[in-house]
Structure 1
Amino acid sequence: MDNNKKTKITKVRKNSEGEITDVMTDNGNIYSIDQAIMMAKDNAIQGVNVGKSRNGREFLRSNPNDSENDNLDNLPTF
């Protein structure tokens, strides 16, 4: 998918443990983290990829670059 058509995560919602539970994209849509992981697998969100923790659970992470400002944990909350 062309980067111009991909959406980008701009804000996140976290639970009381600080885990990201939902994301908001640049078009204002809100997705659960599970939906966002599926979208990332379909290459529909720019700047992120899907990782796998030691226990096998999948998670969303920012693509590596020289900036920490766009890391998901550092995005504004909603």
Structure 2
Amino acid sequence: MKDTASIIKVKKNHDGDITDVMLENGNVYSIDEALNMAKHGIIDGVNVGRAKNGREFLRSNPNGLRSDNLDNLPTF
């Protein structure tokens, strides 16, 4: 049984910031929940970055593909 899942869709606010993510199992999590899950290795293909202002954010692991960048995923 697989204990991790990948993000397949994102929800954005009016500023274009990701507020929620949907995993391949259909579960939806807030960005704060997803950050915590990523830190614990529960979400595949992402890591947690830190902006200059100290705010944490999710980012796709580098692989040279733009299609799987979180900002390019389908929205829900």
Query: Which TM class, normalised by the smaller chain length?
Result: over 0.9
Alignment partner, residue 39 of structure 1: 37
Aligned-pair RMSD on alpha carbons? Answer: 1.2
Query: Which of 7, 18, 23 in structure 1 is aligned with 2:21?
Result: 23
**1:1-78 correspondence runs (5 A):** 4-78=2-76
TM-score normalised to structure 2 length: 0.96
Shift of residue 46, structure 1, vs aligned partner: 0.4
Q: Which runs of 4+ in 1 moved over 2 A?
A: none
- What is the CA–CA distance in structure 2 between the aligned matches of 1:40 and 1:67, rounded to whole Å? 20
Distance of 1:56 and 1:67 partners within structure 2: 27
What is the rounded CA distance, in whole Å, between the counterparts of 2:10 and 2:43 in structure 1?
14
Counting matched residue pairs gives 76
Structure 2: stretches of 5+ with no match in the other structure:
none
The percentage of counterpart residues that share the same residue type is 64
Cα drift, residue 66 of structure 1: 1.5
Equivalent AA in structure 1 for residue 38 of structure 2: A
Question: Does the residue aligned with 1:37 lie in a helix, a strand or coil?
Answer: helix
**Could you list the runs of 5+ residues in structure 1 that have no partner in the other structure?**
none
Q: Compute the TM-score of the two structures, normalised by the length of structure 1.
A: 0.94
State how far apart, in whole Å, the 2-side matches of 1:23 and 1:37 are. Answer: 10
